[in-house]
Amino acid sequence: MKHILLYSLFLGLLLASCGTTKNTAKDLAAANPIESNIDITKVDKDKIPVQVDPGRFSKDTIVFRLPRVVQGTYAVSDFGSFIDDFKALDYEGNELRFEKKDVNTWIIYEAKKLDKITYWVNDTFDIEGGDQPTPFSPSGTNIESDNYVLNLHGFVGYFDSLKANSYVINVTAPIEFDRTSALLMVEENISDDGKYVTTRYKAERYFDVTDNPMMYGKLDVEEFQVGDIKIVLSVYSPNNEHSVKTLKETIFKMMQAQKAYLGETNSTKRYDIYVYLAGHSNGSPKGFGALEHHTSTVVVMPESMSQESLESSLIDIVSHEFFHILTPLSVHSEDVHYFDYDQPTFSEHLWMYEGLTEYFATLFQVNQGLVSEDQFYTKLLEKINTASTLDDTMSFTEMSKNILDKPYADNYFNVYQKGALIGMCLDIIIREESQGQRGILSVMKELAVKYGVDKPFEDEMIIDEIVKMTYPSVATFFKDHVVGGTPIDYNLYFAKVGLGMNDGKVETNYVQNAGKMIIRGDRQTGSIMFNDEVIDNSFWKESGAQANDKIKEINGVTLSRENANSVFGEVFGWKPGTEINVLLERGGEDIRIEKILTPTYTTGKKLSLNPDATTDQKSLLNAWLKG
Ligand SMILES: [Zn+2]
């Protein structure tokens, strides 16, 4: 997954009926698909009725759960907390006795009589940003009159004893709704009055239920080919500010570049991209970013972003999700492969799953000419700066293993920063040792051939294995900087490719100084203010902003704890030339800044080619960036 930007504001400090009793062996639960119904036409008070109908159980007690954690998120979601009015019914329609053991778990007694389970599901988008921890929005659910984000793990639960069973999922919706699904469709049935359609989907096992999201409602959907991959792009933009038409070209170019960079690795025939654009209303999601699946990704971004900044964010985000095809989707440990949705164990290798993925998503853009070398260097320095605000002495493997717990959880954001930089250093070391012939991508491709989607590696063995495939200097790097907590001196690695860091004037954005936030949130009062960094951001400084100025209003929107991430997600994408209107408060007095944005600069490090770089250094640089 990828969380963008605002970890440090609030989030990251924040972030068919069965008839009567049956008794033949044929209808035993273990031998039958679990039939589930999700009925969008019966939504009541923002809740959808769901029915889960397994075959017959031969045991007296069974356990039913909604996921506590879903794959790719590295945080507790507690989907059970969104379930109301749970009922276990026997074949005569009588309620069976059950016990709610914890927020995600129901124990059903007299299970031999169990016909089906029914409950109502609340959506997660509505309450995101409140005091209760909620699922990261790209893994969450949305129920509103014209849009349904069906991350199915939020609707359909599982029986502990039947995780390997196949599922049939029937979704009933108004006939005029657009529908897109990464899950295999079996058939469609239109109701007698012609008003509703029930689509029948099939999932091989519970994993496929969680791995294949759907979107229903008023959508803009288009399919197009990129080589041999069919891309299905579904966009929901509540105020029609963006559409498939305006975003398609960007996605097309990006996917083409990714395929060119990856080479032969990818075998996906269809890839679904779901883009949910959030408005400013109270029920809008607040966590922006995306979550990867094997053949799809769900992206949630603020709708108010300009076309240009939405495009560049989509390139960063969707490419990151697509590169997950390599890891963890094709190269992963047993913890990932045999994932426990209730009490998962975590692999030590987030440096690989998230770090390398983020690194590839950054590097391929310069490799394929989507960004200039200078733009690439700027991104690397932003990552170095952001990483410096997190714990630079924390062992990455230890953090990864304990990612749900403190203090590790608070450093999760570093997987996209230092994690990516770990990937960069490994890449440069391998390029140097192989005279430019190999890099971390080729090593990962070798691992993908050896392991692949169906064969996990042993968690404790993979670093040794990579070392055996490569060089002793790789072992030293892992020991010191991935397993060990020694901070990395990036200059050493830049020097190998003839780059040097110099102080200079660096162009930045209006929320950060080259990766360092210039605003902070007060958790107690929910107010947001500039911090000490603001005077080193030329636009704000010239506009008279000062540290501790409270930011009350941006372009007519009054800031609150609830909308802060969405509003600053928009500010993050501001481009010079745009007219802005900001209301600040200093010592009880209002100060209004009404201006046209000019490019903004901060003082910081700049990475550039050393004038004395040798031919060897230059050719290594070329192998690293363009190899
Ligand atoms: Zn990711």
CATH number at residue 200: 2.60.40.3650
User: Which CATH number fits the domain that encloses residue 470?
Assistant: 1.10.390.10
Helix then strand then coil, in percent of the chain rounded to 5, is 35, 30, 40
454 and 536 together in one domain: no
Contact call for residues 187 and 53 (beta carbons, < 8 A): no
386 and 472 together in one domain: yes
- For residue 444, how many other CB atoms are within 10 A of its CB? 23
Distance 586 CA to ligand 1 centre (A): 40
Q: Does 622 map to a domain?
A: yes
pLDDT reported for residue 13: 31
Tokens of 623: 């192998």
593 and 474 together in one domain: no
Q: Compute the average pLDDT of residues 197-201.
A: 97
Distance 123 CA to ligand 1 centre (A): 23
Q: Does 264 map to a domain?
A: no
Distance 323 CA to ligand 1 centre (A): 8
Tokens of 619: 């050719």
58 and 113 together in one domain: yes
Supply φ then ψ for residue 558, to 5 degrees: -75, 125
Distance 477 CA to ligand 1 centre (A): 23
For the stretch 546-565, pLDDT in tens is 999 999 999 999 988 778 87
CA angle 223, 227, 231 (to 5 degrees): 25
Distance 349 CA to ligand 1 centre (A): 13
DSSP character string of 444-500: HHHHHHHS-TT-PBPTTTHHHHHHHHS-HHHHHHIIIIIIS-PPP-HHHHHHHTTEE
DSSP state of 97: P
Q: Does 583 map to a domain?
A: yes
DSSP SS3 for 365: helix
Q: Does 16 map to a domain?
A: no
191 and 330 together in one domain: no
Of 183, 44, 40, 49, nearest in space to 116 by CA: 49
Distance 203 CA to ligand 1 centre (A): 24
User: Which CATH number fits the domain that encloses residue 581?
Assistant: 2.30.42.10
Q: Model's pTM, two decimal places?
A: 0.91
Supply φ then ψ for residue 504, to 5 degrees: -175, -175
Q: Tell me how far apart the terminal alpha carbons of the chain are, to the nearest angstrom.
A: 26
Distance 257 CA to ligand 1 centre (A): 19
335 and 482 together in one domain: yes
472 and 417 together in one domain: yes
Q: Does 350 map to a domain?
A: yes
For the stretch 79-126, pLDDT in tens is 999 999 999 999 999 999 999 999 999 999 999 999 999 999 999 988
Residue positions counted in the chain: 627
Distance 331 CA to ligand 1 centre (A): 14
pLDDT reported for residue 129: 61
Rounded to the nearest integer, the mean pLDDT of the chain is 92
111 and 135 together in one domain: yes
pLDDT reported for residue 16: 32
Residue that terminates a domain, selected from 163, 193, 217: 217
pLDDT reported for residue 345: 96
For the stretch 324-376, pLDDT in tens is 999 998 999 999 999 999 999 999 999 999 999 999 999 999 999 999 999 99
Distance 622 CA to ligand 1 centre (A): 27
Residue that terminates a domain, selected from 201, 217, 233: 217
367 and 402 together in one domain: yes
DSSP state of 112: G
DSSP H helices in 68-149: none
Residue that terminates a domain, selected from 173, 199, 217: 217
In the chain, the number of structural domains is 3
Residue 554 lies in domain: 505-603
- For the chain, percent of residues with pLDDT exceeding 90: 81
581 and 619 together in one domain: no
pLDDT reported for residue 267: 67
Report whether pLDDT(21) > 50.
no
Tokens of 218: 């008023």
